Amino acid sequence: MKIVFLAPFGIRPKGTVLARMIPLAEELQALGHEVVVIAPPYTNPEDSGKTEVVRGVRLVNVELGPSHKVLAVPVLAWRMFRSALAEKAHLVHLFKPKGYGGVAAMMHLALQSLGLRSPPLFVDTDDWEGDGGMNELHAYSGPEKRFYRFQERWLLRHAVAVTVASRGLEHLCVAAGALPERLLYLPNCVRELGKNDGTVARDELGIDRQAPVILLYTRFFEFSQEKLHYVCSEIFAQVPQVRFLVVGKGRHGEEDALRLAAQEAGFAGALVMAGWTEPERIPKLLAAGDVAIYPFADTLVNRTKCPAKLTELLLAERAVVADRVGQLAEYIRDGESGMLCDPDRWEEMVHHAVGLLSDSERRLKIGAAARTHLLQNFNWKAAAQRLQEFYAGAARLAPPRC
């Protein structure tokens, strides 16, 4: 079977395509299918019009259109639609029901309703995009927000079937009109990788090999910065020799706010900012930590997210202390493969993190259990097999009439 994946944006610098689409495509190809990813490379315009092979998967970067956003929408969406049609695929799977890919999918369904013979359209969602969701985190205009909200709901109702990355999304999609029998829970997964020696990254970053290290792997927007500053200052007060290794970059200068808070609280010397890092280097950096903290505010966006960063931490055998919100409780067995906290009781995160720093045997046991639980229950090979079966059943169905 030939399958076309419609990507929401280019493969660089964002990680969604690499973290979710490419692993699924790889495993589907291992099952005997051919997968082609079609992307609008506005995030990496240097790749406009180029075709490349990424980990064995063909990636078609359609040619970019006009620079003006409004004018670019119909041009870029049409090019994505035409590229998908030219592949003569057996089915098309849209990732994220919004943006250029969403418009291309709407064209697909509209022309299908007029009698054009075209493959069935599936939709994948890994975030809630509309009201209360990602719309609130971006500086979209009013018309853009209304359009994205419309796109999301219309596509969820009209696609042949829908894959969802979290239990929270499962409930919201049904409420939006998607049929429960046409939904597949498809969380972010992992594949087994070799283990890394954290001493290499510690040496590069100037962190003493014997120092206890708290790891924060983040984009910062998923939690209160005040909470992060509190947790770090309290951990430092109880473990003065600690080092805080921060991997990732914020959107609005959150790193500067953390540095300022560190100066005011006296732990500036304990702060090691690795910043944004090439994906290939991340496993080595994660291995340099002893305990990872994962603050996660109880918001609609977070309750529906399926954080790939958390899966990377668990796969790296880090003992994770996370907030009990949404999908995090699906990945972590509290007290066995990680520690879960009440997101409103900031002192819980401090207590668990300090406790694990002082108990290396328990820390290592939890880290090993985290990796084992993840590989047994959330691996891409099994996910692709479920998706293959879902395709086979749902592809025979007509699109729902709404």
pLDDT confidence band for 113 (50 / 70 / 90)? confident
H helices present in 212-327, as ranges: 225-238, 254-265, 282-286, 300-304, 308-315
pTM: 0.93
Q: How far is CA 370 from CA 185, 230, 299, 315, in A?
A: 21, 26, 25, 7
Q: What is the pLDDT of residue 17?
A: 87
Cα 14–Cα 20–Cα 25 angle in degrees, nearest 5: 120
Q: What is the pLDDT of residue 25?
A: 98
Tell me the per-residue pLDDT of 249-279, one tens digit each, with 9 for 90 and over.
998 889 999 999 999 999 999 999 999 888 8
- Matching residue, tokens 């082609």: 36
Residue 401 above 70 pLDDT? Answer: no
Q: What is the pLDDT of residue 395?
A: 74
Residue 397 above 80 pLDDT? Answer: no
Tell me the per-residue pLDDT of 142-161, one tens digit each, with 9 for 90 and over.
999 999 999 999 999 999 99
Buried b (16+ CB within 10 A) or exposed e, 84-99: bbebebebbbbbbbbb
User: Would you say 399 and 158 are in contact if contact means Cβ atoms under 8 Å apart?
Assistant: yes
| Domains within the chain, CATH numbers bracketed | 2-189+380-394 (3.40.50.2000), 198-377 (3.40.50.2000)
Q: How crowded is residue 58: how many other Cβ atoms within 10 Å of its Cβ? A: 16
Tell me the per-residue pLDDT of 345-381, one tens digit each, with 9 for 90 and over.
999 999 999 999 999 999 999 999 999 999 999 999 9
Closest by CA position to 395, among listed 79, 113, 153, 118: 118
Using a pLDDT cut of 90, give the percent of the chain over it: 86
Let me know how many helices (H) and strands (E) the chain has, helices first.
16, 14
The rounded distance, in Å, linking the Cα atoms of 266 and 46 is: 44
Question: Lowest mean pLDDT: which of 5-19, 123-137, 169-183, 190-204?
Answer: 5-19
pLDDT confidence band for 68 (50 / 70 / 90)? confident
Average pLDDT of the residues in 52-76: 93
Of 68-82, 125-139, 309-323, highest mean pLDDT: 309-323
Closest by CA position to 31, among listed 340, 387, 399: 387
Cα 244–Cα 249–Cα 252 angle in degrees, nearest 5: 115
User: Would you say 116 and 92 are in contact if contact means Cβ atoms under 8 Å apart?
Assistant: no
Buried b (16+ CB within 10 A) or exposed e, 228-239: bbbbbbbbbeeb
Residue 78 above 90 pLDDT? Answer: yes
Sheet holding 213-217, edge to edge: 271-275, 243-247, 213-217, 291-294, 319-323, 339-341
**End-to-end Cα, the chain, rounded Å:** 29
Q: What is the pLDDT of residue 150?
A: 96
Q: What is the pLDDT of residue 251?
A: 86
Tokens found for residue 231:
């947790």
Instruction: Give the residue, 114 or 156, on which the prediction is more confident.
Output: 156
Average pLDDT for the chain: 94
The rounded distance, in Å, linking the Cα atoms of 45 and 283 is: 28
pLDDT confidence band for 402 (50 / 70 / 90)? low
Q: What is the pLDDT of residue 259?
A: 96
Tell me the per-residue pLDDT of 1-26, one tens digit each, with 9 for 90 and over.
999 999 999 988 777 788 999 999 99
Tokens found for residue 99:
């943006």
Closest by CA position to 45, among listed 11, 93, 6: 11
Residue 47 above 60 pLDDT? Answer: yes
